[in-house]
Amino acid sequence: MLKKLYLFLKTFILTKDYKSRQKLNKHQANSLFKFLKNLNSDFYPKSLDLKDFNIIDKKIFMDNFSKINTLNIDEKTAFNIAIKAEDSRDFSSKLKIKKKNITIGLSSGTSQNRGVFLLSDEEIAIWSGYMLKKMLPKPYFKKRKIAFFLRANSNLYESTNKSFLEFRFFDLYKNIKEHITSLNAYKPDILIAPASVLSYLANANNLDIKPCKIISVAETLEPHIKDKLKARFNQTIHEIYQCTEGFLAHTCSFGHLHLNEDIVYFEKEWLDETRFVPIITDFKRQTQPIIRYRLNDILHIDNSPCECGSARIKISRIEGRCDEIIYLKDKFNKDFLLFPDFLRRAVLRTKEINEYCFVFNKQNYELFAYIDNLEYELELKNNLEFLFKDLNIISPKIVIKQYERFEFMNKRIRIKVI
């Protein structure tokens, strides 16, 4: 107990923002050295040089689950505990192993693509110290009420429950209309929810709350939703970019996303001048070390300096997932990478479409667009044809159909290549 409190306070006090790139680089080199020196996993090589480690992805990571984690917990046991917690909606149980209390959680994602995270109590104390220092408005120790909308609660979030903070979990599995009544009564100072829930709340006429900070989590916050929220709540909308692999980025006081380079080392696989796929190494994860892990996300770098003065890399947005990229052909029969944003913009330009998804059939060079309002079929078709012409690429055959929800879809994925 005391150790956890010590780790929490130490992290809270020592966490700061780096204003000098040179100092940040030095901090990264030291953290990386310490992390690799203490590494104790059957899967990774024994080396202090990151280059000796292979780049891995989710599949490799999950296939080697029990060898990667330092307690040799097997994947099946971990999954079963996490699923039992989800089904019972009781998220408090921990796995006791080798004198450690381990919290197990599931990432969202389709069933074939789910990740499992393992965190010791000590890691959770460090995580909550970092998270609170970065996300709490000043003054830090003021009494505040936090409303948290999530699919699943976790010991991870409960760990942020400090005496000066009142924390209430709003279960996304329950009816959102009832939540509005409770929210109005609760009157949170800080509202944390996925972008789609924030968007729903912004449209609700009977919502009567005045939070001083709003944080979007778990889903990509699309620019038009961000603008709507900003107008409705009259404040900067903050964003947290976090997944089972780590706490990767959050917005500064000016509302810009910065990578958390003080706790995670980012290598970049460039897709073009501004887009890259991050390959991450987390300095803080001991139980389940994450080293040179290639994420499935497309990030946009913004090289302009930020008003906040942070030396950490600024991200203009998280565009989508790598497997949402469609490979089309240009006029010279060369590959053209059609990023998710292109299709998203074509949809946004077409009025009155709320739900959509795309399926691209590689073999037949056919693009199926599923939309909820077929009245705008022709308009969308024209917008797509215009887009392909504008990009100088060979247009796939476009087929517009009535919207339906597919197995592959989740809150972040709307494009599938088959």
Decide: is 313 part of the binding site for Zn ion (CB under 5 A): no
Residue type, 223: P
Which of residues 88 and 304 has its CB atom nearest to Zn ion in the complex?
Answer: 304
Specify the stretch interacting with Zn ion by CB under 5 A; choose among 5-13, 27-35, 247-255, 351-359.
247-255
Which of residues 68 and 257 has its CB atom nearest to Zn ion in the complex?
Answer: 257
Residue keyed to tokens 């892990």? 293
H/E element, 7: helix 2-14
Rounded to a whole number of angstroms, the minimum distance from the CB of residue 251 to Zn ion is 8
Specify the stretch interacting with Zn ion by CB under 5 A; choose among 49-57, 82-90, 244-252, 341-349.
244-252
| Region 101-140 residues binding Zn ion, contact defined as CB under 5 A | none
Decide: is 24 part of the binding site for Zn ion (CB under 5 A): no
Residue type, 163: S
Among 50, 172, 308, 387, binds Zn ion (CB under 5 A): 308
Which of residues 241 and 360 has its CB atom nearest to Zn ion in the complex?
Answer: 241
Specify the stretch interacting with Zn ion by CB under 5 A; choose among 52-60, 110-118, 121-129, 305-313.
305-313
Which of residues 223 and 309 has its CB atom nearest to Zn ion in the complex?
Answer: 309
Rounded to a whole number of angstroms, the minimum distance from the CB of residue 230 to Zn ion is 17
Pairing, β 356-361 against β 415-417: parallel
CA 210 – CA 142 distance, rounded (Å): 17
Rounded to a whole number of angstroms, the minimum distance from the CB of residue 255 to Zn ion is 8
Residue type, 252: C
Q: What x-and-dash track marks residues 248-277 binding Zn ion by CB under 5 A?
A: ----x-x-x---------------------
Which of residues 221 and 252 has its CB atom nearest to Zn ion in the complex?
Answer: 252
| Region 325-364 residues binding Zn ion, contact defined as CB under 5 A | none
Residue 336 structure tokens:
């053209």
Count of residues engaged in binding Zn ion, rule: CB under 5 A: 6
Which of residues 308 and 374 has its CB atom nearest to Zn ion in the complex?
Answer: 308
Which of residues 123 and 261 has its CB atom nearest to Zn ion in the complex?
Answer: 261
Rounded-to-5 percentages of helix, strand, coil across the chain: 35, 30, 40
Q: Is 289 within 8 Å of 282 (Cβ atoms)?
A: yes
Decide: is 306 part of the binding site for Zn ion (CB under 5 A): yes
Give the list of residues 6+ apart from residue 29 with CB closer than 8 angstroms, or none.
Answer: none
Rounded to a whole number of angstroms, the minimum distance from the CB of residue 144 to Zn ion is 23
Q: Is 415 within 8 Å of 367 (Cβ atoms)?
A: no
Helices marked H in 265-361? 340-349
Which of residues 45 and 137 has its CB atom nearest to Zn ion in the complex?
Answer: 137
Give the list of residues 6+ apart from residue 23 with CB closer than 8 angstroms, or none.
Answer: 311
Output the CA angle 134-140-141, nearest 5 degrees. Answer: 140
Best CA proximity match to 281, nearest among 61, 129, 124, 102: 61
Q: Is 19 within 8 Å of 136 (Cβ atoms)?
A: no
Residue keyed to tokens 């966490």? 15
**Residue numbers at the binding site for Zn ion (CB under 5 A):** 252, 254, 256, 306, 308, 310
